[in-house]
Structure 1
Amino acid sequence: MSEFKLPPLKKPKKGEAPKFTDSGLLTKRIVKQVESYLPIILNRVKAGQDMEKVVRDIAQHAGVEPDMVAKYVQAVIKAGSNQAASGGSLL
């Protein structure tokens, strides 16, 4: 899964609004709403689609804020990296 690393969210320039607002912590409820979309997210990113567009599209379908989708994907990547580093199976 390491091939799906996300770049960090860009900091806005002076006088420019941030691309995503920070909606707070990722909750179990939000994870449940987003987790079924993970294969779609990964396929779209692997196909070269813009991550911001993918996140916004999935957020609309899942009924959550875009930053929550981005946080979920980053958490999945981190969990996969930690598991691979410890020698565990990714499946």
Structure 2
Amino acid sequence: MANSPQAKKRIRRNANRAEINGARTSRIRNFIKKVETAVNEGDRKAAEEAMKNAKPEIDRGVAKGVLHKNTAARKKSRLSKRIAAM
């Protein structure tokens, strides 16, 4: 159990950040799912539009520290590759 004021504050802060980061991660996953859904349906135009919306969201996740930059690059690359293969 945290006894010092600093430790108590850190616990509060970590709980708040976990909630915010969880929401951001979920948002990124939703954008990625939209791209994958469009690809699976074979709608290239919708997939490209969804990818255009997903890229900045993935990059924002990197900037906020939710995703590692290589993970983001890998996700964007794989999605782009699937769209190009259509």
Structure index of larger Rg:
2
Q: Which has the higher contact order (CA 8 A, sep 6+)?
A: 1
TM-score w.r.t. the length of structure 2 is 0.30
Structure with a larger share of its residues in helix: 2
